[in-house]
Amino acid sequence: MLRPFFMKTYMKPITLRFPQFNPWREMHTRNKKAMEFIAKGWNALKEVDRVIDYTELNDRRLIPLLRTAKENFELALEADNSNTHARYWLSKLHLKYHVPGACKAIGAALLVEAADMGDPDAQYELGCRLRVENEYVQSDQQAFYYLEKAVDQLHPGALYLLGAVYLTGDCVKKDIASALWCFHRASEKGHAGAAIAYGSLLLRGVEVPESLTKFNSKRLPSTKAVEKNAGSPVMDRVEMAREQFQIAAKAECDLGLKWLNRLEEEEKRLVNG
């Protein structure tokens, strides 16, 4: 028996299509939403920081801004519970500001969580706080642990602080080469204190590690600078130090400007003498 023509020609298998779940797109959406909340909270907190030096810490006029910041950081965590930036900024609100509902214990817990989750700002902040003397906790080793974690991510503040630790031999074996490396990397990121420390050490004649001298030699203008400073390691040090003080001055550090003026006066004295 022959099948009807329409059955033979037009009957095809039906394929049902369901929307595919994309975890990466979902994660991106949550993170984007969280960052929007963080930006709103950060802007409110920035406004608080702009005027807080001219008001009392518990000035009622700051309360709306602080509440806005707190609500947005909390919303950011609701949107993306894995967001370390939201944890860090919310911890700062609890620990530093007189925001309604502030709790030091909650702030400390959030800070530790953010640091353990890998946020460099939180690691640096926690390392600084742990360096404060505490009769109940042996905090020096913990502080050094978190500072090193932040240094691994080239956090400028952590680099500067670790450089100071190596320079003074506080809690670790004194290591001038490591201190110089830390100051150098921090100054590259515009840290004024590190630039001043590195420049002043150069002028004092501290031996610079070979890795750093090679790096700086690559950055010197080729022929003219080499001819000018050939056979004059002292002039090389002065020029390297000048570059560091310029970094500090660019960061609006008065001490950087003072060092630059001092170098200019010294050079004029040598020329006229």
Domain-located, residue 58: yes
Query: Mean pLDDT, to the nearest integer, of 160-176?
Result: 89
Domain-located, residue 4: no
Domain-located, residue 142: no
End residue of a domain, out of 61, 94, 119: 119
End residue of a domain, out of 119, 142, 176: 119
Model confidence over 177-216: pLDDT tens digits? Answer: 999 999 999 999 999 999 999 999 999 888 887 767 655 5
Answer yes or no: do 272 and 186 share one domain. Answer: yes
Domain-located, residue 174: yes
Number of domains in the chain: 2
239 C-beta neighbours (distance < 10 Å), count:
17
Domain-located, residue 133: no
Domain-located, residue 5: no
Q: Alpha helices, DSSP H only, in 97-232?
A: 104-116, 120-130, 140-152, 156-168, 176-188, 192-203, 210-219, 222-229
CA-wise closest residue to 259 among 273, 246, 268, 269:
246
CATH number (domain holding residue 165): 1.25.40.10
Structure tokens at 9: 């020609």
Domain residue limits at 223:
154-273
Distances 231 to 188, 202, 240, 264 between C-alpha atoms, Å: 27, 17, 15, 22
What's the CA gap between 232 and 227, in Å, rounded?
A: 10
Answer with the residue of higher pLDDT: 139 or 47: 47
**Highest-pLDDT range among 27-31, 100-104, 264-268:** 100-104
End residue of a domain, out of 94, 119, 144: 119
Answer yes or no: do 269 and 160 share one domain. Answer: yes
Answer yes or no: do 171 and 61 share one domain. Answer: no
The pTM score is 0.76
Answer yes or no: do 37 and 100 share one domain. Answer: yes
